Amino acid sequence: MLPAALEQVIEALGSLPGVGPRSAERYAYYLFRSSPKISENIATSLINLHKNVKSCPVTFALIDSKEELSPLYSSPDRDKKTVLVVEEPLDIFAIEQTHGYKGTYHVLGGAISPIDGITPDKLHITELLDRVEKDKVEEIIIATNPSVEGESTALLLQKLLSEKFPDLKVTRLARGLPLGVDISYADQITISAALENRTKL
């Protein structure tokens, strides 16, 4: 019923995560009504995506294809003896925005979730163990998400790391009340953690 080229845009955009047919229709019609420049911009950027972005072979952060290593690893300003472990590359971005961390990163590539087929061997765990040895790492900060999968991954990492490197310091991000959340709405686990880890004023 719709022109084939429009249907193709709707179908293609509908393959994005969380974009249903209604949103895809809205995007497609918006693009049709807007300047062709906008569609061209998106098309060009997508064509370049896989060509110009790759994973850093050491930290698995996303980097420009022409770079060899992530600048957050290779820069002399970064302390290689501290490694912050995250699930996904974009988590790095969130932490870098705090401007409060000067160590390096390691991207696991997800969290353990047997139901989704993500077993420990699918994550970059051996590469992390190798790094600890090679870079003489002194502290590993585990920053997996506070979800069931993130917690299991953190526990596994802690076990593997402490077995292999008994002197290594393994920490994780603090649990507590986030900014702007009313105490009456916070869940029990968060409140328990906030109580337990209370800080001196």
Judge contact between 10 and 21, C-beta under 8 A. Answer: yes
Looking at beta carbons only, is 35 or 188 nearer to a second copy? 35
User: Which range touches a second copy (CB under 8 A), out of 9-17, 78-86, 145-153, 161-169?
Assistant: 9-17
How far is the C-alpha of 30 from the C-alpha of 27, rounded, in Å?
5
Task: Find the length of the chain.
Answer: 201
- Assess 69 for contact with a second copy (CB under 8 A): no
Among 80, 89, 104, 140, binds a second copy (CB under 8 A): 89
Q: Indicate whether 52 belongs to the interface with a second copy (CB under 8 A).
A: yes
| Residues in Cβ contact with 74 at an 8 Å cutoff, skipping those fewer than 6 apart | 68
What is the CA angle 125-111-118, rounded to 5? 85
- Look at residue 81 and give its three-state secondary structure: strand
Binds a second copy (CB under 8 A): choice among 75, 93, 114, 181: 93
Question: Binding to a second copy by residue 1, rule CB under 8 A?
Answer: yes
CA distance 128 to 84: 10
Nearer to a second copy (CB atom), residue 26 or residue 175: 26
Amino acid symbol at 190: T
41 binds a second copy (CB under 8 A): yes
Q: Would you count residue 100 as binding a second copy (CB under 8 A)? A: no
CB of 65 to a second copy, least distance (A): 8
Identity at 70, one-letter amino acid code: S
Instruction: Give the footprint of a second copy on this chain (CB under 8 A).
Output: 1-6, 8-9, 11-13, 15-19, 23, 25-32, 36, 38-53, 62-65, 88-90, 92-93, 96
